[in-house]
């Protein structure tokens, strides 16, 4: 009997099984890494108020920078999120008569009614039933408004555009310093996303699992105010997700003044 023809010993069979098992596990891990790192691409339409100058090239740069900040790890608490934002079509003007400055709910709804993913205006002084100075105003896709409104020009525009897209997926503000979804006035240092937030960015607007996420630990408080006037109506954004969305939904369904 040749060496090749002889039966395998029990020890040899066990070694072969172990090698096969290791190979299967490695393939599974590679597939898991590939799935986790798979790129998600969003093509977004953009409209701007006629009084605002925003070229295709400028919009592309903002979207590219917003994509880069999600894909770049800046520290231990930052998750690399492979999401890419691209412009769909040319930057278009908002319809004639659309307000450049939002001071009331009626004006807010007039801008939101325009068909585009991102609407660019000069000022936002009213958002979600609150008066104040806002750089952006968005809320979850499932409530029927499918867009973000942003101010131009403004600070950290790439951070702002990515932040507002996060709200469209259902993400709330959170208290960690440096978080992209911070409630503070956004700066270039606000870039960090968690793995959970990244899943929501990849799931996109309308993802049921992302509504009202993330849930802050009990007792968590905001590190800076959302509005200047503490006497104005406020949504408890550091409350649990269900409370936040309930308040938001009630405001959305209430009749316009």
- What is the number of structural domains in the chain? 1
36: in domain: no
Residue pLDDT tens, the chain, 257 long: 554 555 656 666 566 656 655 455 444 444 444 344 688 999 999 999 999 999 999 999 999 999 999 999 888 778 999 999 999 999 999 999 999 999 999 999 899 889 899 999 999 999 878 898 999 998 766 555 568 999 987 778 999 999 999 998 888 888 888 899 988 888 888 999 999 999 999 998 877 678 766 655 554 444 454 433 333 333 333 334 444 455 555 544 554 44
User: Which domain covers residue 198, as residue numbers?
Assistant: 49-253
67/155 Cα distance (integer angstroms): 17
- Asked whether 234 and 225 are in contact (CB, 8 A), the reply is no
CATH value at residue 234: 3.40.390
Helix (H) or strand (E) holding 32: helix 10-37
pTM, two decimal places: 0.72
130: in domain: yes
44: in domain: no
Q: What is the DSSP letter of 150?
A: E
155: in domain: yes
176: in domain: yes
33: in domain: no
């Amino acid at each position: 009997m040749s060496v090749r023809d002889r039966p395998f010993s029990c020890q040899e069979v066990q070694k072969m099984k172990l090698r096969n098992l290791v190979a299967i596990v490695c393939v599974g891990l590679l597939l898991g890494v590939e799935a986790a790192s798979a790129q998600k691409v969003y093509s977004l339409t953009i409209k701007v108020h006629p009084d605002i100058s925003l070229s295709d090239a400028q919009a592309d740069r903002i979207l590219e920078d917003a994509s880069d900040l999600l894909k770049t790890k800046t520290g231990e608490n930052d998750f690399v999120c492979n999401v890419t934002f691209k412009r769909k079509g040319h930057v278009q003007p908002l319809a004639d008569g659309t307000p450049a400055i939002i001071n009331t709910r009626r004006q807010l709804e007039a801008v939101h009614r325009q068909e585009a993913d991102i609407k660019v205006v000069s000022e936002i002084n009213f958002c979600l039933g609150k008066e104040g100075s806002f750089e952006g105003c968005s809320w979850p896709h499932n409530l029927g408004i499918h867009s973000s409104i942003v101010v131009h020009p403004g600070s950290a525009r790439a951070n702002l555009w990515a932040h507002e897209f996060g709200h469209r997926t259902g993400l709330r503000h959170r208290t960690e310093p440096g978080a992209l979804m911070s409630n503070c006035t956004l700066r270039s240092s606000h870039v960090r996303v968690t793995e959970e937030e990244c899943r929501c960015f990849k799931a996109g607007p309308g993802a049921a699992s992302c509504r009202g996420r993330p849930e802050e630990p009990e007792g968590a408080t905001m590190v800076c105010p959302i509005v200047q006037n503490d006497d104005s109506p406020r949504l408890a954004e550091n409350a649990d997700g269900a409370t936040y969305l309930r308040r938001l939904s009630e405001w959305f369904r209430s009749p316009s003044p």
